[in-house]
């Protein structure tokens, strides 16, 4: 069994956390210092070989995922544009961000997505509890709310604020339904 690469996104098991890392690379955030990012111009002979760009930039072909994320590409089979200037993060920046997100995963915290300017409408049904429910019925209603499917963001999706907010709003609605059910139990 091969050991995992320390600078591999596969170290992050949560696809939402991995999507946040890709988004950080595309947006070039956070900029710790001027040395944390540098420019790389794609040569005409490198357009179909992101691993060659990664090798020339980082001395490792395994970091082609960084090149693709910086180029805003989600498919390895697409071609880079010749003459395009990519802003690539330094190895220190990559190590720091991977450590940051791995620590968040270790304590089971998904960073909250950036909220959209306009609130998104959720399609989840409201959970209303009648006053005559017993404790077991209230718990059943809370579990039913948790069982509602959450809109997922798959690694193949183009991850943006809208898709992250859609998932966050669905999770918030479930949490509110569970809190309401627990509050109903405490009142009884």
Q: HEC states along 87-142?
A: EEECHHHHHHHHHHHHHHHHCCCCCCCCCCCCCCCCCCCCCCCCCCCCHHHHHHHH
Percentage of residues in the chain with pLDDT exceeding 70?
65
Cα(130)–Cα(133) distance, integer angstroms: 6
| 37-61 tens-digit pLDDT | 889 999 999 998 999 999 999 999 8
What is the rounded average pLDDT of the residues 77-100? 90
Q: Provide the residue ranges of all domains of the chain, joining segments of one domain with +.
A: 9-106, 113-188
Whether pTM > 0.75 for this model: the answer is no
**Residue bearing tokens 């907010």:** 165
For the chain, the residue count is 188
3-state secondary structure of 27: helix
């Amino acid at each position: 069994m091969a050991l995992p690469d320390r600078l591999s996104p596969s170290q992050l098991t949560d696809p939402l956390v991995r999507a946040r890392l890709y988004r950080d690379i595309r947006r070039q955030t956070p900029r710790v210092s001027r040395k944390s990012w540098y420019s790389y111009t794609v040569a005409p002979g490198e357009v179909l070989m992101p691993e060659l760009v990664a090798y020339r930039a980082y001395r490792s072909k395994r970091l082609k995922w960084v090149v693709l994320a910086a180029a805003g590409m989600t498919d390895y089979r697409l071609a880079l544009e010749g003459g395009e200037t990519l802003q690539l993060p330094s190895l220190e920046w990559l190590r720091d961000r991977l450590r940051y997100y791995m620590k968040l995963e270790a304590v089971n915290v998904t960073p909250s997505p950036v909220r959209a300017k306009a609130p998104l409408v959720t399609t989840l049904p409201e959970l209303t509890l009648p006053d005559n429910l017993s404790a077991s019925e209230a718990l059943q209603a809370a579990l039913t709310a948790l069982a509602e499917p959450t809109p997922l963001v798959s690694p193949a999706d183009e991850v943006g604020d809208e898709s992250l907010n859609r998932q966050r709003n669905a999770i918030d609605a479930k949490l509110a339904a569970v809190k309401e059910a627990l509050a109903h139990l405490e009142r009884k």
